[in-house]
Amino acid sequence: MTYLLQISSIVNLHDVTNIWHIPLLLRDQKAHEAILKVLDLQLVGKVPREPKLAEWTERASKFDKLKTPVKIAMVGKYTGLSDSYLSVLKALLHASVAMERKLVLEWVPSCDLENSAAKETPEAHQKAWKLLKGADGVLVPGGFGDRGVEGKILAATYAREKNVPYLGICLGMQVAVIEFARSVMKLGGANSTEFDPATASPCVIFMPEGSKTQMGATMRLGSRRTHFLANNCKSAKLYGNATSIDERHRHRYEVNPEMVPLLEKAGLSFVGKDESGRRMEIIELPNHVFFIGAQFHPEFKSRPGKPSPLFLGLIAAASGQLDLLLKRSCSVISSKPTPPRYSTNGTGTAVLTIKPYPNGHAKKALTSLVNGCYANGNG
């Protein structure tokens, strides 16, 4: 069958100041009408179907008005390929938009932070530390393998000691725990069994949901529930004082539950756990301006008009707006969270005093502008 291409089906998408202008270009050229016509869906009850893009239009049109920058150091080993962290990058952008800040992303190769790099590649070492020290906040994303891990641990040390806002995701949380054990608890050999199977202080261990010996299907994947154990922690407040949240996971290794009592005694708070109480989901340093680690991946559920609460917290802390954000978040829900009740069979249930939020967000997104993302300040 031959299909004759109509002029109305041809659209021109030229360069724009930000990608959120693209839907508006499509609308202005009536691309939606051409699509609906082909699908024979253009009329419902004789009323033309028009896209509802008022909020989107406002967000895109105010893009260039945001001038105040916020610098975030992304410490990872795939910094040469930014698409490796695309979901994290977008989540940072969504949060920056909500806090009305222009995102400046500093890509910091974790390998270049390591002591060995000072001898092997001194210029790269100096540059990496300069970028890290010049940032308003530090983010260590997830990853696999031992390359660059020591650099990530050094980044966590810097953020903890210098009171710089820090968000660790998955591996980023794990290295924060390892760093705390080494620096605060003086356990010099503390490590993850992923990187050192013979470590005498296994802070992070292999904890699959299935068999530990059978190959395949060993990752903990998909949405899992996290219960907050404290009503005064920053992460619970960011989620609107929710008692529990559902966020997506993708990992094999987790914090060793046998070491948790020692870590807590030394001052590290495990404010979020799963229903069994054996899987650590969220850590915090209570006396730090913002030091949070999450075993799950909050970036997976971030959206332009509904940014991730933990990313909001990082950007707010990095731009001096955290107190205001926490007040806004806590004003949404006044009920105090109730800790989960653990059952003896390891499938504990939570006593909820408010409606849980299955999508991982406990409050309505802030009305805000759109801003751009600049890599190392060069656009």
Domain segments of the chain as ranges: 7-59, 68-210+217-332
The residue with tokens 């922690």 is 233
Domain 68-210+217-332 has CATH 3.40.50.2300: no
Task: Tell me the catalytic residues.
Answer: 170, 297, 299
The residues near 130 (Cβ < 8 Å, ≥ 6 apart) are none
CA 356 to chain centre: 20
Measured between alpha carbons, how far is 223 from 248 in angstroms, rounded to an integer? 4
The 10s digit of each residue's pLDDT in 157-210 is: 999 999 999 999 999 999 999 999 999 999 999 999 999 999 999 999 997 665
pLDDT band at 216 (very low <50, low <70, confident <90, very high): low
- What pTM value is reported for the model? 0.83
With 70 as the cut, is the pLDDT of residue 268 above it?
Answer: yes
Report pLDDT for 208: 67
CB 375 within 8 A of CB 105: yes
Strands 280-284 and 220-228: unpaired
The 10s digit of each residue's pLDDT in 69-104 is: 999 999 999 888 888 999 999 999 999 988 999 999
**Long-range contacts (CB closer than 8 Å, 24 or more residues apart) made by 79-86:** 79/107, 79/108, 79/109, 80/109, 82/107, 82/375, 85/141
The 10s digit of each residue's pLDDT in 320-377 is: 999 999 998 876 544 344 444 443 334 333 333 333 333 444 433 333 333 356 555 4
Average of per-residue pLDDT values in the chain = 84
Report pLDDT for 374: 58
Report pLDDT for 214: 58
Residue 228: left if φ>0, alpha if ψ -120 to 50, beta else—which one?
beta
Which amino acid is residue 66, in one-letter code? L
Residue 267: left if φ>0, alpha if ψ -120 to 50, beta else—which one?
left
pLDDT band at 48 (very low <50, low <70, confident <90, very high): low
